[in-house]
Structure 1
Amino acid sequence: MVAEALPASPVTLEQRLEAVAREQGFAAFGIARADAAPETAARLNAWLADGCHGEMLWMESRAEQRGSPEGLWPAVRSVIALGMSYAPAHDPLALAAYPDRGRISVYAQGGDYHDIVKKALKHVARWLVAEVKDAEVKVFVDTAPVMEKPLSAAAGLGWQGKHTNMVSRDHGSWLFLGAIYTTLDLVPSMPGRDTCGSCSACQAACPTNAFPAPYRLDARRCISYLTIEHAGPIPVEFRRSIGNRIYGCDDCLAVCPWNKFADTATRHRAYLPRAELAAPALGDLLDLDDAGFRQVFAGSPIKRIGRHRMVRNAAIAAGNSGDARLRPALERLKSDESAVVAEAAIWALGELAE
């Protein structure tokens, strides 16, 4: 009998680095030169000039640093791009058939990715610093002016699809992205290749027509922006299209054909959905006070939007539910301390009266 050949041990620094990253739960790994995405600044500036960022003024205030890794840290030479899978085991769109339940974006149903990804990034970065004398590193996960998506595409994790999010041949649209900047000259990976082709499924699926063109998003029309980033009243023209979505929207991601290749076995266990976040009852959400909100959403990325935005979103979903049983809770919210919540409740009562 011929013995099976054992897999080759990692030899190069890059191979060993990837092995450490995978041990920390990263499903995707790649390396790009710091200057590998030169078109980023121009695309970002054009997007900002058109006002497509809405109220996300932090996108504008540090645009120069965001436009390139060197703009943020002149000493950077390489970017280590990493992706952690949160591939759902069930159809994210199925809950649309239950209008008395709130739909929370898949990424927010489990643990807070900021904490989980950053902890893993720090472990990988510490290994690199210990391995290579005089190496300098900085880690980022959605908390600094870093354009993770074009950098990840340059590093071969996938490509930015027509919905502007990352698409991976192996993980579909379900990756949390993180980056390690380093002063080391690492061997770059092959960049990702756009294989969206003629497919326009993500564009057609958007309930609010937030894509004025392929590869371009107008955040002001995006349900994820409206339910998370937008602090004021949600424009009336979008309210019925929001349906029962109370935090984010997965529609453009969920319909991507590449998701059929996403392996849920690679999903980090920390992102398994919490029972209370998988399909929360709108009636329970409408009754939340500040203390109740903090208790329900502790350890979740949802906690950062605060009680008022969540109850505002739940009130709009209630107005779209057709469920008259929610009227008493909405009546109470007409005198809520938050004017935004009260206005949403009044609108919802009007919809339920029709």
Structure 2
Amino acid sequence: MSTPKSLVRDTAAAEERVDAAAGATAEESVLALDGVDKSFGDETAVDGVSLSVRRGELLTLLGPSGCGKTTTLRMIAGLEAPSAGSITIADEEVAGTGDRFVKPEERDVGIVFQDFALFPHLTVRENIAFGLQDADADATAERVDDLLELVNMPDHGEKTPDQLSGGQKQRVALARSLAPEPDVLLLDEPFSNLDVRLRVEMREEVRRILKAAGVTAVSVTHDQEEALSISDRVAVMNDGTLEQIGKPEAVFQQPESKFVASFLGRASFLKGHLSEGKVDTGVGRFNAATLEGYDTVYDGAPVDVLVRPDDLRATPASDSNADGTVVSRQYVGPSFIYRVELDSGEAVHCLHNHVEEFDLDQSVAVDLVADHPLAWYPR
């Protein structure tokens, strides 16, 4: 059976709609959190989180363990009640004013758990149909057929979960959650139970499925690579607060805090001093115009400049011309990442092609080769 247009939409068109929604107003959002707090006794797990999720968007809550992201997801689902603030789904306040609290089963929300939570005694078809108990048999069968096509499993309907691979179980769990066409789909660490190779493959597949279905989704993870690769926007959380929210490339390239910079990818910070439009650092002096948003008003200020491994390049040098010494290296397949201790006392990382090898304790000069504005922070 071919998948009807009402279910499967052109993925490219869906992506364009999300990009066009970048300026969406609060009224156009499907999910909104406003000043949401959650406390457990004297401990504050979530502190004043406000955000909105646009129709058809995939937003990922990213942060270290204990930062409040899972608690935030549970409050959206209705598994926890916020201590303060409000949550709105599809224009209905589901938690907030007074004692307003809509039970989980009465919210139009689907959940994909990290262990998939499939019913072992039911077939794939029966698992997917579980949330369609109010539909008649013909409508249920058609919906299940459509979803099996959507997740590329049209010939697996009569199998039981124990006959499926990890990736197939995830597809079934996703199809089951999509079956009742929820306003919002929540994904709790959706790839954590998969091996590394399958995890990468399923990221792409899950994004394709979500975009094809046109669903609005919120995912939770502590995996930076996962968040950056599948999300339309990333919301970075730390210690219960929302540090930054934006497109993955914007959050990575223009982190608004040193925490965000450090949490997203490998980060080093060069101590610098601004003077007469220049920055003096442990790898030399360069034009302050290289800094994102630089203004002469900051001249004379000490700063920390964010540099990532691909922003720097090491070259062999005599001791008299060197900036530092290679102290370790990490082989990552096509590349080496070298850790260089600078004579200034700082340490930086340099990314090199795998054919460019340096010995440990080798003296090197380090050059700034970044072709983009560098993030920086007052010290």
Q: TM-score, normalised by structure 1?
A: 0.27
User: Higher strand share goes to which structure?
Assistant: 2
Which is greater in Rg? 2
Q: Which has the higher helix share?
A: 1
